[in-house]
Chains A and B, each alone.
Chain A
């Protein structure tokens, strides 16, 4: 694949299948999904550089991609229950695409134009905070640890939250090496708070109870309880 197409591939959403460019590049007969260029365990960055797929940059990119997929499921259920979160979730998915471009463009090894085109703006974090404040103002205060529960929308949002934390962990070494913008870490950190508030909001909207943490009974009591079930 040429350098030019790699540039455009990152700018056009990666999850857009079939990618509009593929039809330009290949003969129409063969599926254009597989390029076979990654068969030896390498993949390319936005700057054209090829690195091993085990490189921390691909680890972070992959986790952000997983996060995006899980938000996709959460979006499906939120839309179904009409809780009003769906548009925010889509904007977040677009932001995650931009975060992917930021991570895929190592600040240390890319051109100024590439860096400028993929900068991630601080303003997105302010927006998340305003969403969190708005959701939170409608929620009862937290008095207990809550368990991931409260219906499908809420649970998928909790699942996204926990995957978001993993994405943040994998992005840290990349940001620390100054290869991605600090705003990426800030956004991911705030996003897990948003997903937490959104999960609670979704449960409340669906009129479903959140289960709270209870200290487990000693094993013996639990066993007796189980036998009684």
Chain B
């Protein structure tokens, strides 16, 4: 152990509480930590998707840098969630404000529109598929939806900025489009939904039936 180096583990959380940006301690199963933790899961799954996009390379280099920027924004979203809007001081609120002018959402929309122009129209449900990058993007999309579900109740009570919920909503659309775009650039066919048939299997005649 190097002298004077702080340990990663503080042990302060062993009793099941953690602290917010305001310094307040709450139980870790508080709704705020649930939202923060889900947001963290989202950043991890985007990290994974980004890695596969890097591997795939051709035609989706722009997506790689977009995803990295999104990971940074999720860090900002974490700061916003960790600073309850109804309790924090004005300077803290100002420092953790998120996308007050809507520009980050507009970026997502622009990125979606740009990719969408190249994509064939959606005529049927698609399944998460289309290669590693595309499938990982679909996983990230579904985690993004879960994050949104955790954030929406907090936004409705004005404990998190509304812009955070809006961003997460648009982010799942962006990730969906990325999934399709990555599949197309990989030259992979997306698997389409087909109604599975459920033939009745003849059972051995049983005396009690």
| Chain A positions near chain B (C-beta within 8 angstroms) | 129, 132-133, 136-137, 141, 145, 147-149, 151-152, 155-156, 158-159, 161-163, 165-166, 168-170, 172-173, 175-176, 182, 185-186, 189-190, 193, 196-197, 211, 213-216, 218-220, 222-223, 226, 229
Contact = CB atoms under 8 A, between A and B. Distances in A.
A159 B104 contact: no
A73 B102 CA distance: 38
Contact of A151 (B7, B14, B51, B71): B51
Q: Secondary structure of the A side of the interface? A: helix
Interface stretch (B38-46, B153-161, B193-201): B38-46
B14 A189 contact: yes
Contact of A158 (B2, B29, B44, B61): B44
A132 B8 contact: yes
Contact residues on B (Cβ < 8 Å of other chain), bracket: 35 or more
Interface of B: 1-2, 5, 7-9, 11, 13-16, 27-29, 33-34, 37-38, 40-41, 43-48, 50-51, 61-62, 65-66, 68-69, 71-73, 75-76, 99, 101-104, 106-107, 110-111, 114
B48 A132 contact: no
A213 B65 CA distance: 13
B29 A211 contact: no
A161 B48 CA distance: 13
B10 to A, nearest CB: 9
B47 A147 contact: yes
